[in-house]
Amino acid sequence: MIAIVSDVHANLEAITEVLAHIRTLPEIEGIVGLGDMVGYGPDPAECLDVARQFRFNLMGNHEEAVLKSSYGFNPIARMAIEWTREQLRPRWRSSREIRQRWDFMKGFERTVQQGNVFFVHGSPRDPTMEYILRADVDDCFGDVPVKIKEIFEFISGPCFVGHTHYPGIITESYEFLSPPELPGGTYRLKAGEKAIINVGSVGQPRDGNPHSCYVTFDGDVVTYHRVPYDLEITVRKIQGIAELPDRNGTRLRYGY
C-alpha cells in the first residue's frame, strides 16, 4: 500500500501532521508526491527536504514556475513564486545544500506509470498545467465533454492527479464522487477500471474543509484521509513574510 500526497505548497505544519498520520498505518510501504511541494506557503526549502523521503516526486506547475517563469499565473500566486525562487535559487556562493535542493527539484518527473497506474500532477494531456475539474462532468446536459473523453483515452487504469486542490473521483461513467459521497471515504476499483482520482491537497485544501487531504492505495481500494493540523502557525508565518500575500494564510482557515 502507498500513500499519495499532493499540493503541500510549502506548508510544513500540514505535511508534518500528514506524515505522522501515515506512520500510524503500518501497511504503508512508501509515499508518492504529485507535485507542488512549493508555492503559496512559507517553508519551501523545508518541504522539499521532506519530499526526499518519497518514492518519487512529480513536477507541479509551481515547481515549473519557480524553475522557469511565473508568466500566466495570477498576481497572488506570482508573488509567492517569485519569493520562493529567491529562497531556493543557488547563487555563486550558495552552499552545497542549496544547490542540491535546487537540483533535486529540477529532477522531478513529469509523469510516472507503474503497470496500469498513472501518476501526474495536472492531467495526462498536459502534466503540469491542465486542470481536471468537477465542472468538467457536472451539468453536462447528457453530453460528455471531449476534454474528459480524450483524457480517459490517455490512461489504461487508475490515474492519480492533484492540481485542483479538490478531492474526488471521476468514474468511467463520468460521475464525480467526492469523498463524503464514498462509504467510509473509500472507493474499490473494478478489474480493469479506469478512473481519475484527485487526491486533494495537503497544504491548501479548496473543498471547504481546512484539514489536509491525502489518499492511500493498495492496488484495488482508494481511501481518503483528512488530517487536522495547527494552521494558525502557518497563517502567522505567512503574515510575517512581507512578500507573501496574507490571503495565502487566511484562506487556510476556510479550506477554499
What's the mean per-residue pLDDT of the chain? 95
146 has pLDDT over 90: no
| Residue 141: per-residue pLDDT | 63
**Could you count the other beta carbons within 10 Å of the beta carbon of residue 141?**
4
Helix (H, G, I), strand (E, B) or coil at 5: strand
CA quadruple 126, 131, 137, 143: dihedral sign: negative
Q: Tell me the C-alpha distance between 163 and 180, whole Å.
A: 20
Residue pair 196/151 in contact (Cβ under 8 Å)? The answer is yes
First to last CA, the chain: 30
Closest CA to 163 of 195, 198, 112: 198
Lowest mean pLDDT among 5-9, 94-98, 106-110, 127-131: 94-98
The answer, yes or no, to whether residue 191 has pLDDT greater than 70, is yes
Residues in the chain: 256
Q: What is the CA radius of gyration of the chain?
A: 18
Helices (H), 130-244: 146-153, 231-239
What is the DSSP code string of 118-163?
EEESS-SSSTTT----GGGTTT-TT---HHHHHHHHT-SSEEEE-S
Question: What does the pLDDT average to over 146-167?
Answer: 95
With a cut of 90, say whether residue 211 has pLDDT above it: yes
Domains of the chain: 2-253 (3.60.21.10)
What does the pLDDT read at residue 93?
A: 87
Mean pLDDT score, 85-113: 95
Mean pLDDT for the stretch of residues 203-209: 97
Positive or negative CA dihedral for 70, 71, 77, 80?
positive
Q: Is the predicted pLDDT of residue 140 greater than 70, yes or no?
A: no
What is the mean predicted confidence (pLDDT) over 224-230?
98
Q: For residue 83, which amino acid is it?
A: W
pTM for the model stands at: 0.96
Task: List pLDDT tens digits, range 43-90.
Answer: 999 999 999 999 999 999 999 999 999 988 999 999 999 999 999 999
Q: Can you tell me the distance from the alpha carbon of 163 to that of 123, in angstroms, rounded to the nearest whole number?
A: 9
Three cell numbers at 63? Answer: 515547481
Q: Are 37 and 44 contacting, i.e. CB atoms less than 8 angstroms apart?
A: yes
